[in-house]
Amino acid sequence: MTIKSKGAVLFNMESKRPYFDSMPLKISNLIIDPPGENEVLIKIRAAGLCHSDLSVIDGNRPRPLPMLLGHEASGEIIQLGKGVKRFEVGDHVVFAFLPSCGDCQFCKSGRAALCEPGAKANNEGTLIGGYRRIKLNSEYINHHLGVSGFSEYAVGSVDSIVKIDKDVPFEIAALFGCAVLTGVGSIVNSAKLKFGQTILVIGLGGVGLAAILGAKAAGASKIIAADINPKKREIAKSFGANYVIDSSDKNSLNYLKDITGGGVDISVEFAGAISALEFAFKATKRGGTTVTAALPNPKARLKLSPVTLVGQEKTIKGSYLGGCIPSIDIPAYIELYKSGRLQVEKLISHRIKLSEVNQAFDRLASGEGIRQIIIFD
């Protein structure tokens, strides 16, 4: 049986701000197909707004349209498709924004962030089985990263969801699907921060602030947080940053080198601006590692002198999905949250209704707030 659902659909990537006026996301009446093999139907309870949703809306991260947006969500399973073994009706789950098939060469070698069938499905706007389950005016529309969480209901693959304990509030659980997974994972999996190391986190949106929480939990000795927005630098202090800097200020690099004895061991960049990545690389000391987890426009290019990589033994690397295995890392990070060592609740700045999603993206685009969460009844 199909089910009716209201959801926020993106039809074009040309809308001008303010989005409150141009309304790039149209709240649409959708029909959701029943779950197929190895899929489940989920009643969405909470969904977070992430900067990479904004990158789809403004065309920096082109995706097939029309698309039911949203890639950070939690909810409750209300129906099982054929062959589903590990989940039951009533289970609470969080989506990961990249499905992991468990069977490709990358999944088998523990690198779920590189899952090939997962990436193919995400690029094509389907679930990992290749199907679309969302209809608008009797035409199928695209899924967003296997999630499409800005909707009352969603069909998801079992490869896209992780079961969570029922005592974790849905609005908290949603954060683990993107902000926390990407932010904390980039620190512990990609940068492999060691106890006592110094770190620079540049770009202080939800993911960057989650990375600060991760760096603190992992035992960084000095956490330096950088952003061009003074409000975000203030917020970073309350997340555990020991120093904050404005990376657009020409004195900042020297100041950073002074307080760290020549540069940080690890720098992690989430800003999506080439100038920020260049700053992160320069701030990294000899032998150190620069990680980028941002998604700049595909046409952007980085200028870099390769001899510094050699002569100073520096590493520069990318991080997707925080280098995580969602089914292992999400439950682990939730345990850290429960024990008070990962205070992810601080990330929530606004709770909104689905109908307020366009103005919420105006706030995100102007750098206000941290994580805004759509709460569904």
Interface residues toward Zn ion, by CB under 5 A: 50, 52, 101, 104, 107, 115, 178
Q: How far is the CB of 103 from Zn ion (least distance, A)?
A: 6
In 3D space, the residue among 290, 354, 268 whose CA is nearest the CA of residue 7 turns out to be 354
Q: How far is the CB of 282 from Zn ion (least distance, A)?
A: 27
Q: Which is nearer to Zn ion, 183 or 288 (CB)?
A: 183
Q: Which is nearer to Zn ion, 119 or 253 (CB)?
A: 119
Q: How far is the CB of 337 from Zn ion (least distance, A)?
A: 18
Q: How far is the CB of 159 from Zn ion (least distance, A)?
A: 8
Using DSSP, state whether 129 is helix, strand or coil: coil
∠304-184-344 over CA atoms, to 5°? 135
Judging by beta carbons within 10 Å of its beta carbon (0-12, 13-18, 19+), is residue 184 exposed, middle or buried? Answer: buried
Beta-strand pair 198-202/222-226:
parallel
Q: Which is nearer to Zn ion, 175 or 215 (CB)?
A: 175
Tell me the C-alpha distance between 154 and 175, whole Å.
17
Q: Which residues contact 30 (CB under 8 A, 6 or more apart)?
A: 4, 5, 6, 7, 9, 68, 134, 135, 136, 141, 151
Token code pair at residue 217? 């939990």
Q: Which is nearer to Zn ion, 104 or 274 (CB)?
A: 104
Q: Which is nearer to Zn ion, 30 or 294 (CB)?
A: 294
Q: Which is nearer to Zn ion, 126 or 198 (CB)?
A: 126
Q: How far is the CB of 50 from Zn ion (least distance, A)?
A: 3
Token code pair at residue 152? 């009352």
Q: How far is the CB of 209 from Zn ion (least distance, A)?
A: 13
